[in-house]
Amino acid sequence: MKPVKLLVGLALVASAALASAQSGGMKGMEMKAGMKGMEMDKGSMSKGDKAQTTHKAVGVVRKVDSKAGTVTLAHEPVKTLNWPAMNMTFKVQDKAMLDKFAEGKKVEVEFQERGKDHVITGVK
């Protein structure tokens, strides 16, 4: 029976030590209301946060699909994504933008990566 009493005693001592460490281990650390100071600015976002990065491309409109809300461009290289020139279909953020696209017209677009989609957010 002595080994059992010894194990129980050790368990009690260990749990008391753990409780003491937990209660005193946070001394001197102040929690600010509303977590001020914890805000992230755009510069501190990880590279995986592509949804927040706006890219620019210059290209010629090849096709406008108003029903699908997409535009196909033959665009020049996109340096911010390290893309070569290519033909690519983009979604538009707002279908009202489609009026600014006409087949054969040269445009400059701003777009964002949103999941698997590339969404045009602006056009000149």
Question: Do the Cβ atoms of 111 and 118 come closer than 8 Å?
Answer: yes
CA–CA dist 44, 25 (Å, integer): 29
C-alpha distances in angstroms, 62 versus 67, 97, 103, 116, 121?
A: 16, 16, 5, 21, 18
What pTM, to 2 d.p., does this model score? 0.59
Q: Which domains does the chain have, with CATH numbers?
A: 50-123 (2.40.50.320)
Counted residue by residue, the chain has a size of: 124
Q: State the DSSP code for 27.
A: T
Report DSSP letters for 34-103, one per residue.
GGTT----GGGS-TT-GGG-EEEEEEEEEEEETTTTEEEEEEPPBGGGTBPSEEEEEEESSGGGGGG--T
Q: pLDDT for 5-18, tens place per residue?
A: 655 555 555 555 55
Coil vs helix vs strand at 16: helix
Q: What pLDDT, in 10s, does the model give residues 26-74?
A: 444 444 444 444 444 444 444 455 447 999 999 999 999 999 999 999 9
